[in-house]
Structure 1
């Protein structure tokens, strides 16, 4: 949900799209159910993801110097 909220804050989703996507995710019992989201909502998420570079981030190999990274 944090990513969807960020998409809204960056004006990559309309408030209505954000609300519909959030509701869909909240009612989904599994990741497979999320994948059944209506095509118009999926396209909105895909466009926002592309602008944010999410796919590139997921495909980037981990940094070799990440051993000292502290998350939290």
Structure 2
């Protein structure tokens, strides 16, 4: 939900979209239920995600830096 809140803060979602999406997620019993979100809400999430670069972050390989505990 933190990401949805950030989308609202950045004015990428309207307060009504934020409320509807949050309510949908809160009442979903499974990931499949979330996937049944109405298309207009999905489109709003997709647009906001694109602006925030969320897909790029998810597709970026992890970085392994010195001192990260890996040997």
Q: TM-score range by the shorter chain?
A: over 0.9
Q: 1:67 to 1:29 in 2, by over 3 A?
A: farther
What's the CA shift for 1:52? 0.1
Residue 14 in structure 1 maps to residue 14 in structure 2 = yes
Larger radius of gyration: 2
Runs of 4+ in 1 over 6 A off after TM superposition: none
Give TM-score, length-normalised by structure 1.
0.91
Q: Report SS of the residue matched to 1:68.
A: coil
Gapped runs of 5+ residues in structure 1?
A: none
- Count of residues in correspondence between the two structures: 69
Matching residue of 1:68: 68
TM-score by length of 2: 0.92
